[in-house]
Structures are given as structure tokens and as C-alpha cells.
Amino acid sequence: MDHTTRRQLIDQYRDGYAEVMAALDKATDAELDRRPAPNKWTSREIVHHLADSEMTSAIRLRRLIAEDNPVIVGYDQEQFARALKYDRPITASLAAFKAARETTTEILERLTDAEWARTGTHTEAGPFGVLNWLEIYAVHAHGHAEQIRTARA
């Protein structure tokens, strides 16, 4: 991946929180709890998923950088939604999401070429490196922001 593409993905990653906040602008509790279709997440559930996913992904990146050939363990996001009380208020989850994005962006902006090349193994996807991580998480929040807009509509 060239430097320009990497920079664009970092910028997209950094902007994910703002994109989600724009999608949530002036959302009422009724809108947060509207289920767009059976077996689809509400906006409230999406926010909690984002917080859990971002905290998990932040640790994954740190392990890829700090450990030699780490094993990155997958998790069941549906089980998280069922077990971690995704019906609760969203304020703390938004703060956790924002903090994970901000601290991780600071790290991304300082990585050396050698650190960008670091890899490990994902239990579900196989070989997995820092660049794979960036490609996945740069778009993650934007995709969920679109889901929030759809759920609120």
C-alpha cells in the first residue's frame, strides 16, 4: 500500500466518529430503538457495537505493533449484543468509541514502515497485519453510520 492510500485510510478512520455523530444528530430514544427489520440492529445497538468493536480493534492494533506474531482472536458480535446489555444509554459507549479512535489515530500517524509491515494471525481470517487492520477499520464506522441513517429513516 502506498503512502497516499495509507494517509487517506488514516483520515477516513479518524473521521469515523464524526460520521457516526452526524448520523445520530438529534436522535430521539424512539429513533435509537427503531429496528429497521427483523434481526437487524437498532441505532442504539449499533453504537454499543461500535464501542465494543473499537476497543477490541484498538487492542488488536497495539498487539500487532508490540508483540511478535500475535494471535488475534475473533469474537461473536451477536453474543456481545445479547450479553452486554445493548439496551443501555449510549453516552458512555460514544465516549469509549471516540477515545479509542483518537488514541489509535495518534499511534497510526506515528508508525514506521517496519511497524506498518508487522503481522500476526487472526483466528478466523488467517494472516493478519497492520495494513489489513487499517483497511477494515477505516470503513467500519462509516458503514455503521449508514446503517444508523437507515434505521432512523
| Close Cβ partners of 16 (under 8 Å, ≥ 6 residues apart) | 101, 137, 138, 140, 141, 142, 145
Residue 133's CB: how many other CB atoms inside 10 A? Answer: 23
pLDDT in tens, 71-110: 999 999 999 999 999 999 999 999 999 999 999 999 999 9
Cα separation, 68 vs 152, whole angstroms: 43
Three-class DSSP category at 126: strand
- Which amino acid type is present at position 40? K
Domain residue spans of the chain: 3-152
pLDDT in tens, 142-151: 999 999 999 9
CATH assignment of 3-152, among 1.10.10.60, 3.40.50.11540, 1.20.120.450, 3.30.43.10 = 1.20.120.450
Q: C-alpha cell of 29?
A: 430514544
